[in-house]
Amino acid sequence: MKTIAIKWSNVSVRALACQKVLMEGTRRATPRPGEQERGDVPGWVMITLMSAVLVAGLLALATPALNDLFNQAMAKVGK
């Protein structure tokens, strides 16, 4: 019985040590009340610009096909 108590005591000590390490990491990761978090503005600008260029490129390639598709659909409806 004594060895089980010692094993559980060791497990408890290890669990508390892990908890302390995790809490310390969380404390360091959260900004202090006076600090203002800026974020990754250049990264978001780059993603937005790349998305806009991708949409514009796809639209430029797909416009003739979409126009033909629309004209065919309107011709079928008009009959």
- Count CB-CB contacts under 10 A for residue 75: 9
Residue 43 lies in a domain: no
pLDDT at position 69: 93
Residue 40 lies in a domain: no
Residue 68 lies in a domain: yes
Residue 10 lies in a domain: yes
Residue 62 lies in a domain: yes
Is the Cβ–Cβ distance between 39 and 45 less than 8 Å? no
For 13, the domain range is 2-30+52-78
Residue 35 lies in a domain: no
Cβ-proximal residues to 31 (8 Å cutoff; 6+ apart), any chain: 37
| CA gap 12, 37 in Å, rounded | 36
How do residues 22-79 score in pLDDT, each as one tens digit?
666 666 666 666 666 666 667 788 899 999 999 999 999 999 999 999 999 999 997 7
pLDDT at position 11: 58
**Range picked from 7-11, 15-19, 33-37, 75-79 for highest mean pLDDT:** 75-79
pLDDT at position 8: 55
Structural domains in the chain (count) = 1
E strands present in 1-79? none
Residue 38 lies in a domain: no
pTM: 0.41
